[in-house]
Structure 1
Amino acid sequence: MPDKVQGPGTHRHDRAPLRADCANCFGLCCVALTLTRSADFAINKDAGKPCRNLQQDFRCGIHTELRTQGFPGCTVYDCFGAGQKVSHETFHGQDWRRSSQTAQQMFQVFPVMRQLHELLWYLTEALSLEPARSLHAEIRRSRDETERLTHLPADAFTGLDVAAHREDVAALLLRTSELARAAAPRRKKRDHRGADLIGARLKGVDLRGADLRGAYLIAADLKGADLRLADVIGADLRDADLSGADLTGSLFLTQAQLNSARGDAATRLPPSLSRPTHWDQ
């Protein structure tokens, strides 16, 4: 059943269009993006060049073996539904292989669309937060404007100042976060915005209402930590241990962040997100 965001006084927004549907995409993330050989990718690949694992049907030839084959970075990438939007709406089902001109333009539009869809994901969540009810009208306007931008014709994306739009949305999301986190205890003592918490020992720590926006939590020990009402937008959770942690009310958490972390059956997640399959391995 599609995930619906329902809140008193809010629109009901279906998040299904903001979830990647690889079956209805022309493999754009496997072509448009640059890959740099590292712990995340086994190869170097220039933007615009198809990954060697991309098949003729636009499926990944090693999809079930990405981690073991040296491509864990692919398992944590999320286009937020931008791939199918660009493939079938912006370019009306035109395959990038048909012409170099179409390919070049499609590869330029895709990363911009991805940014807009990510903003839509956050704004949709913001509309579900009752403590931020006073901002819902403003959030709706921002969401509607962002949605409008996603429907622009392909040639209009070239001059789109998506960075300025992101700044406006970010400011609104910060105000939303402050209202939502106000209910958490000892919130003023928990400002870790942009903090270097790489490898930090935070096992069992009460992080309710913490500001972890953009924090570096790479390989942090968060086993059993309470992250309810913690704002984790942009936080780097690569290889963080979330075993037994409570993220049920975490703010602006994404599937990509969970996919990059470690967890177990005891990790509590928001209903809009899924438990990564590699957590059970």
Structure 2
Amino acid sequence: MSTRQAGRDLDTSRAHSARMYDYFLGGKDHFEVDKEAALLAVEANPSLPVVARENRAFMHRAARVLAQEHGIRQWLDIGTGIPTEPNLHQIAQSLVPEARVVYADNDPLVLKYAERLMRSTTQGRTAYVESDITDPDALMSAVRDTEVLDFTQPIALSLNAILHFVVDAQEPYAIVRRLLDPLPAGSALAINHCTPDYDPETWKKVVEVYKSAGTPAQVRSHSEVSRFFDGLDLLAPGVCVCHRWRTPEPVAGKPDIPDAQISLLAGVGIKR
């Protein structure tokens, strides 16, 4: 296992988005400060636990599509969060046992549980690096140091529910380009990102909760999210609310989830 800043102490004085997300999913790997911030966020938007579940469901579907339809055998998952089964490598390796996955996150608590991310098949490999998306050069250097991914072969860059924590001042589009540049043709970009398009007032309140908890956040419109895919070939159905992306036919009698309840845009593009 390769790590950066592995000795950094846990900061339990303020909430962290990965640990709040763990709370939304019903996990137990968070602190009281994370729970308090998560409860405020849920008060602003009661649908956040559903959003978190749909986020993971999209990640699973995207991994399956990329493995089965596009021959992807490698993933770089940034903003991994606290491990929640099935993790990305479990989905990928259930389809292609030789799949390789490198996870990256900036929360030391994720490192504590990283052994869950290291339980690879004998044919495949996994690794975890502690690094921050806002320093893409250092992050990619740490990924290369693991020697898990072959940068001559296609790699899927998975950025699920992380870019809304990269504000414009941090140049998110430039960051994504820096992450994509070293990847060869045939690589993929999978993103989902919170949007204010359907319910701007609610998402304004959610953003304020995160900012008050010490985590800058910025939700983006459909056109702003689509811009991350400039120069890539978007897979059908393009950028859409994540629970509409390659979902199975609806079950008879099961109520449809309104787009406004999810408000999480998703898309997958292939690098030429």
Task: Please confirm whether the aligned pair reaches a TM-score higher than 0.5, indicating the same fold.
Answer: no
Ranked by relative contact order (alpha carbons within 8 Å, sequence separation 6 or more), the top structure is 2
Higher Cα radius of gyration? 1
TM-score (norm 2): 0.29
**Larger strand proportion, structure 1 or 2?**
2
TM-score (norm 1): 0.28
